[in-house]
Chains A and B, each alone.
Chain A
């Protein structure tokens, strides 16, 4: 079984995003970029499934600028076998990403697609569900456990109020949540080896997908700043304040 793992190059998790003064977006010039953390979890899960013998090949895909090839190299260093970069300078929305992934899905015929539940830049949380819709396949979102069993996969999902397990017919699309695993660090020998793994570059037009955005971003602004209040010296003082505010009896 092949596993397809879409990955996105995003602002590094530890960098505080700055809104551009002209309100046109977030400043990404000279900012550290990394693989979306949820996608890293997806790559790790794919590698573990291959190590267990449940998968034969892992194909990492990224849709983005030429530099997204670095993100793909990271996936290859973690254990993916080959990579596809769909290169574009444009910002591509989840719907168009899902359409490109659908075309790759049709070409590669994977048994499983593993991807992050959301990207930490636009926080959309849509692409996996959309890909599942377009391929008419089942979806297991927000996964904290993934078990392949014959022609199905059992996915334990992190839902409001607890955990829920669903059984999906393969091929299926699974999106990863935080607790699924802890991604490995790529070792230096594996980083060296990853440089020699195949990375194919294509473009959205190869797949006949129109990537023109459907949403117009009119402005991006800083959220309202919350003012710090006062510091109290003791628990008694704290209780006094809470009573003054009427939030406790």
Chain B
């Protein structure tokens, strides 16, 4: 099977999730990668991608119209290429989820979202109902379009490969959408989805200022990413891009510290693949303790500062 992987990159480097998607692609067959973006950045990322183990060829579409990964333009670039491929794999990220279904519909293919396991050439496992059930599904379409959940696959080695890079040109700007601007959540901390340690806060944190005072110092001490439950996001303590859960980000760090989080099903769906889960909550009956490896029943306003200080 010939597989095309849509690579996500930034600042000339590949996103970790794309390395995981390459691993998934390699389980299906021969891997080619496509990189789209502004000239210099995309070229640099393509060179990095060519070194990834398992990648046989890198297609580089360097054009300003692909700089912001607008789905209208990127889908129009990918669809004609798919004549040569049996499958398209994207990250199950905000970018991948934006682009892949547009490509799938144009190919008249039913997409497989959030794949966590490959059981055969056309047979995949994916979570449904906020992770409360796992479905095994088989595609009957002639081509596959898949988004891959990065936490379910190991990252491909970023060296050892020697793929060729082929520059391609696409149809460019489709004239349907323009990029206006972005507000990135500036942070010195590691990216939530690839961090080794995540410290998350829940509704019990009271307000935005308290969240900042309690959660952030612990995260900084541990070099951890900050996360939050949907309840904390809904209550306005922190912005939605920090949300961990089925409706937010799916994380699988080495260590996940849940502070003042009760453990709603939808939150658990986002973090239960963590290697070690620590829960700090004053309610001994909170469901989070049913999944935690280490639980501490305590007032978080005392326990967390003490933990931060003693670590």
Cβ-defined partner of A222 (8 Å) among B71, B133, B140, B298: B133
Cβ-defined partner of B184 (8 Å) among A19, A162, A228, A245: A162
Contact assessment for A161 and B113 in the assembled complex, using a CB-CB cutoff below 8 Å: no
Contact assessment for A158 and B70 in the assembled complex, using a CB-CB cutoff below 8 Å: no
B contact residues around A164 at 8 Å (CB): 68, 179, 181-183
A contact residues around B277 at 8 Å (CB): 226, 229
B contact residues around A245 at 8 Å (CB): 276
CA separation between A121 and B132, bound complex, in Å? 10
Interface hit among A1-9, A54-62, A131-139:
A131-139
Contact assessment for B294 and A130 in the assembled complex, using a CB-CB cutoff below 8 Å: no
CB A207 to nearest CB in B, in angstroms, measures 16
Cβ-defined partner of B132 (8 Å) among A17, A131, A134, A215: A17
CB B147 to nearest CB in A, in angstroms, measures 8
Interface string of A188-215 (1 = CB under 8 A from B): 0000000000000000000000000111
A94 within 8 A of B: yes
Contact assessment for B132 and A16 in the assembled complex, using a CB-CB cutoff below 8 Å: yes
A contact residues around B103 at 8 Å (CB): 133
B141 within 8 A of A: yes
Contact assessment for B247 and A178 in the assembled complex, using a CB-CB cutoff below 8 Å: yes
Interface hit among A43-51, A65-73, A77-85, A234-242:
A234-242
Classify chain B's interface size. Answer: 35 or more
B123 within 8 A of A: yes
Contact assessment for B278 and A95 in the assembled complex, using a CB-CB cutoff below 8 Å: no
Contact assessment for A139 and B104 in the assembled complex, using a CB-CB cutoff below 8 Å: no
Contact assessment for A125 and B135 in the assembled complex, using a CB-CB cutoff below 8 Å: no
Interface string of B102-137 (1 = CB under 8 A from A): 111110111111100000000100011111111111
Cβ-defined partner of B289 (8 Å) among A121, A131, A160, A228: A228
CA separation between A122 and B128, bound complex, in Å? 5
B contact residues around A220 at 8 Å (CB): 128, 133-136
CA separation between A215 and B127, bound complex, in Å? 14
- Considering the complex, give the chain A residue whose CB is closest to the CB of B111: A126
Interface hit among B49-57, B80-88, B92-100:
B92-100
Contact assessment for A248 and B311 in the assembled complex, using a CB-CB cutoff below 8 Å: yes
Residue among A128, A217, A242 with the most chain B CB within 10 A?
A242
CA separation between A236 and B298, bound complex, in Å? 13
7 A-B pairs with C-beta separation under 8 A? A17-B129, A125-B113, A158-B94, A161-B191, A167-B177, A216-B140, A231-B284
Q: 3 tightest CB-CB pairs across the interface, nearest first?
A: A129-B101, A229-B293, A214-B110
Q: Which residues of A contact B (CB under 8 A)?
A: 11, 16-17, 19, 26, 93-95, 98, 120-134, 136-142, 144, 154, 157-169, 177-179, 213-223, 226, 228-236, 238-239, 241-242, 245, 247-248
Excluding A19-B132, A95-B104, A235-B303, 9 further A-B contacts by CB distance (< 8 Å) are: A121-B128, A179-B240, A215-B137, A223-B132, A223-B272, A229-B292, A230-B294, A235-B298, A247-B255
